[in-house]
Amino acid sequence: QVQLVESGGGLVQPGGSLRLSCVVSGNTLRLYTVGWFRQAPGKAREGVSCISASGAYTYYADSTVGRFSISRDNDKNTVWLQMNSLKPEDSAVYYCAADMSRGVQSMCGGVTATHRGQGTQVTVSS
């Protein structure tokens, strides 16, 4: 059973930074495309950023380009999302999800992934 556990969320002021972590257990991470998603109350789920199994390909939502950066270390079974220049509209529950044999655009913009974590709250407010 694949499990994903997120950490790193919290309260930050506008313009600040946070680094989210997603630790995967139950299977080797190198088999999976992984994505970060967010959902705010009353809003649709949004694919924030996705990374291919090898790390060679990435995808970013337009609203995060230049501010967010996704990375992974398959030996550590961990995927990170570095978030800089945070804005109040970035506030949401962020969760990571993993799936096999998915392209990054399909992962971020397509059907829900097979495995996902419980999420971590990110609040951007002064």
The tens place of each residue's pLDDT in the chain, 126 residues long, gives: 889 999 999 999 999 999 999 999 988 899 999 999 999 999 999 999 999 999 999 999 999 999 999 999 999 999 999 999 999 999 999 999 999 989 999 999 977 888 999 999 999 999
CA distance 37 to 68: 12
Note the pLDDT of residue 110. 78
Residues whose CB is less than 8 angstroms from the CB of residue 42 and which lie 6 or more positions away in sequence, other chains included = none
Note the pLDDT of residue 112. 82
CA distance 126 to 24: 33
Q: Which amino acid is residue 84, in one-letter code?
A: N
Under DSSP, is residue 115 helix (H, G, I), strand (E, B) or coil?
strand
Residues whose CB is less than 8 angstroms from the CB of residue 33 and which lie 6 or more positions away in sequence, other chains included = 50, 51, 52, 53, 98, 99, 100, 101, 102, 103, 104, 107
CA distance 62 to 66: 9
